[in-house]
Structure 1
């Protein structure tokens, strides 16, 4: 299988960093406490917030494999000057991609554009699919309360593991011997504001454990109100209380 990687290694799953280095730095600090060998990143490095360049600098010290998310792909519309798409994006999601164009170095931008939409990996004799939305679409959302038919369809692909992102909600679901997992979001968790999530995974033992890391939100909330006053969601989601 393409993308064979090392055996007997511990992995951290992270996703949806969304240009939030305050959260990423604390998550990476937590990861160092768990003897992690490699990161698997399920996309959306950019978008919503404002310092993707710092996030890539933080990741330089790590051994990681990643895929693109939908915001990462949309960045190409900003780079190419697609004014229609740019305006649609700004109205819904704010100025995060404008900041990405402004702040990412050429090498960081090349790295991001070189990432595939999905990857097949072989880890500890486990067939692993790493993607962002779903195996079929970068924009599809597989929520924890999805119907059983959705998980059954994913399991029919006969991977041992399918790693997703995109929803910003953690997920662990085993269907027909396929473990379907989503580590939730580092930069914009949507179940509890300001509480980043990631997962420790041992593929050989078929175990995963969700980890949560609190990050400060006040500075970022002030930035959203300054840069994106017409998109209040960017601040509101950071203050979300558990249901």
Structure 2
């Protein structure tokens, strides 16, 4: 069995289409999606349409929760932009997304950690522009009570895999649509293959027309997204 994992699209249709094309060449048995789907100043409605059409297992992220729970005047600018682009069918689909999902008795999907869509699991990216990694005890504590051989998370946009002492594997595939601190604008995702009873992760960086994505963000009134989309060097501060 081989699966693909995507996360943190943030309304970036161009990046999503490039990743889906690359996944199609991988020969996977399924694709899973870990949330933060539409909240970006790009093409959130188109992204929603694509995801609704391919109908893959998907959990909501913290930004979907914000869109569900708040009227426009209580949203931050990027979430408010995304909400204004959503049609009723998009909102209904987002409202129905679960916060977590267990599949095949072996795989667990969440956005941040199993108990929080805001808590980072394998790293921290909001300490300025410095990515920090938690210690083993911190990572293991957030997995307590979730005895799945493979656990998938997103939220921090940093691709990483951690294998706990008991063999459980935790994978963050990185972000499809918004690179931070990585020094590359390429869209990110992961594939994971089950061989001989063990999961083997691989990470993928996919070139796409990031200059066109940056122009979309600027045209929609969010020039601060340009550096992130073009360089991949920025931190999260000031983007949302």
Measured against the shorter chain, the TM-score band is 0.7 to 0.9
What aligned pairs does 1:43-54 form with structure 2 within 5 A after superposition?
43-54=35-46
**Matched residue, 1:194:** 185
1: CA distance, partners of 2:138 / 2:214: 35
Runs of 4+ in 1 over 6 A off after TM superposition: none
The answer as to 2:8 corresponding to 1:19 is no
Aligned residue among 58, 76, 82 for 2:50: 58
Deviation at 1:214? Answer: 1.1
Deviation at 1:118? Answer: 0.7
Aligned residue among 156, 160, 166 for 2:144: 156
Structure 1, unaligned runs of 5 or more? 1-8, 91-95
Task: Provide the TM-score with structure 2 as the length reference.
Answer: 0.83
Structure 1 or 2: more helix by fraction: 1
Structure 2, unaligned runs of 5 or more? 124-132, 235-240
What aligned pairs does 1:83-122 form with structure 2 within 5 A after superposition?
83=73, 85-86=74-75, 89-90=76-77, 96-122=78-104
Task: Provide the TM-score with structure 1 as the length reference.
Answer: 0.82
Kindly tell me: are residues 132 and 28 of structure 1, through their superposed partners in 2, closer, same or farther at Cα, counting changes over 3 Å?
same
Deviation at 1:186? Answer: 0.2
**Matched residue, 2:119:** 140
Q: How big is the alpha-carbon RMSD for the aligned residues of Structure 1 and Structure 2? A: 2.2
What aligned pairs does 1:160-175 form with structure 2 within 5 A after superposition?
160-175=149-164
Deviation at 1:104? Answer: 2.5
Kindly tell me: are residues 210 and 27 of structure 1, through their superposed partners in 2, closer, same or farther at Cα, counting changes over 3 Å?
same
Deviation readout 1:104-161 (Å, 9 max, x if unpaired): 23222211111111112225xx2x2210011121101124422111222134332211
Larger displacement relative to structure 2 (67-76 or 147-156): 147-156
- Aligned residue pairs: how many? 220
Deviation readout 1:9-42 (Å, 9 max, x if unpaired): 4211000010000000000000000112321101
2: CA distance, partners of 1:139 / 1:241: 22
